[in-house]
């Protein structure tokens, strides 16, 4: 898809862009236009994490106008309970 993006000089140039990324549930993107070659940071809100435990990730719009990493929603962080805290393990 071609869109027009204005530069600091005031000129408008058509550029190829990747498909629009939806904002992830319980998170946000750092961009709203996705030109070829650019990266987008995905960050989860406090108390949420991406699958795998990270709070953020980066995906790139490659030359095939595809995203390099599939976007997933942020999920509520579960508290970690140590077996030592519960008294289940004693020496």
- Every domain of the chain and the residues it spans: 17-77
pLDDT digits (tens, 9 = 90+) for 25-84: 999 999 988 999 999 999 999 999 999 999 999 999 999 999 999 999 999 987 766 666
pLDDT classification of 9: cutoffs 50, 70, 90: low
pLDDT for the residue 43: 96
Specify the pLDDT at position 78.
Answer: 79
What's the pLDDT score for residue 15?
A: 81
Q: Specify the pTM.
A: 0.68
| CATH 2.10.70.10 corresponds to the domain 17-77 | yes
**Burial (Cβ within 10 Å: 0-12, 13-18, ≥19) of residue 65:** middle
């Amino acid at each position: 898809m071609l869109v027009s993006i204005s530069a600091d000089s005031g000129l408008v140039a058509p550029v190829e862009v990747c498909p629009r990324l939806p904002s992830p549930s319980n998170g946000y993107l750092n961009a709203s236009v996705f030109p070829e070659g650019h990266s987008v940071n995905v960050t989860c809100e406090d108390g949420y994490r991406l699958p795998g435990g990270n709070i953020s990730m980066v995906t790139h719009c490659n030359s095939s106008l595809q995203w390099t990493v599939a976007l997933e929603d942020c999920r509520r962080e579960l508290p970690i309970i140590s077996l030592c805290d519960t008294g289940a393990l004693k020496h």
